[in-house]
Amino acid sequence: MAVTLRDVALQAGVSVRTVSNVVNGKPHVRPVTRARVLDAITALGYRPNLSARQLKYGRGGFLALVVPELEAPYFAELAALFTQVCVERGYLGLLESTGGTREHEQLVLRGAQTHMIDGILFSPLSLSGSELAERSPSQPMVLLGEREPPSGWSRVAVDSVAASRAVTEHLIATGRRRIAVIGHYEHDHSIGTGLLRFRGVIEALDAAGLAFDRQLLLGVRKYDQESGRRAMLTLLERAERPDAVVCFNDLMALGAIRACYEAGVAVPDEIAIAGFDGNRQTAFSTPSLTTITPDMEALVRSAVGLLIDGCDDGVQVDVPWSLTIRESTAGRSSGSLVGALPVRERDRLELAEVNGAEHVGEP
């Protein structure tokens, strides 16, 4: 027997009208009441009558999140927040993984979704900017990620150039001079995540008067632990090893730490390692990982808001981020790692903090 609004109302101890307001994303519901209703919806497994909703409101009641993979912690967290925000706004969230293949991503652009979907958050991996520009206008679509969007696209992202510049500046402030990079995409045909994060590294090195050794740029085919491990082992075979590594996501950074452990290389005493994405498990690695932490909730709420309220004007949103400094770059006593270059006031504050200090990046 199907669960009704009345069942949810009885479970939550509120009126049917209040449950309807929550389901339909109406704003005039107290947060504590909304939370009680959402808990009841989850407990009872309530699902709205989508056919009736479409007749009444002219919409299907679904939003879709399309990402390269759901196994990666970054996308898993993104998906969890997406489904939560969808319910709050009166929608149900659908998840789709493309595997990062061009063919699957092209299907998304061609509108290979059902008519019940009211909008799509799309995080492509393989498509070029020109291919994205050819999308069907049949459904609202918001781009997730750092690449430069085609004309007319709305996009929500972290400023990867500024963030990677900040983490590189932190490494320089701790006395590091030979800074390597793991995460350049070998098949990147557009200005995507890897190239933007690499640009931030180069900007920081140039500002400090340091040259980048191209031998310290390691390409990967996938942003996972094994790719980071193999790239780090390659760096350790260099005649001149790096003294720091910027990894373009946390999974590769954890793989790099593992490679150093296998090779008997101390982190951060011999090589400092930093990641990107702020995955929660990085606080529990040994050593704990310094990382760029995006405001994921702001990212999802901004993107869903654009889908629902209108995304046809090419709106560009950069969400906040923070540099979370931990043992993998600062050690247990960060003051011993201060180098000879002049240290700016912000860096002095960073280095004076113990684990978990943060530098906040403005949107």
CA-based nearest residue to 90, from 152, 147, 27, 23: 23
Query: Alpha-carbon Rg of the chain, whole angstroms?
Result: 23
**H helix or E strand, kind and range, residue 100:** none
**H helix or E strand, kind and range, residue 62:** strand 62-67
In 289-356, beta strands by DSSP E = 290-294, 316-319, 321-325
Give Cβ neighbours of residue 241 (< 8 Å, ≥ 6 apart).
178, 235, 270, 271
CA distance 5 to 269: 60
CB 200 within 8 A of CB 162: yes
CB 361 within 8 A of CB 320: yes
pLDDT in tens, the chain (363 residues): 678 888 889 999 999 888 877 776 566 778 788 888 888 887 887 766 544 444 344 456 889 999 999 989 999 999 999 999 998 888 889 999 888 888 888 777 776 555 568 888 999 887 777 777 776 556 788 999 887 777 778 899 999 999 999 999 999 999 999 999 999 865 554 557 888 999 999 999 999 999 999 999 998 988 999 999 999 999 999 999 999 999 999 999 999 999 999 999 999 999 999 999 999 999 999 999 999 999 999 999 999 999 888 766 678 899 999 999 999 999 754 432 322 233 333 443 343 333 344 555 543
Instruction: Output the pTM of the full model.
Output: 0.75
- Domains in the chain, CATH or no CATH each: 5-47 (1.10.260.40), 160-294+321-361 (3.40.50.2300)
CA distance 31 to 14: 13
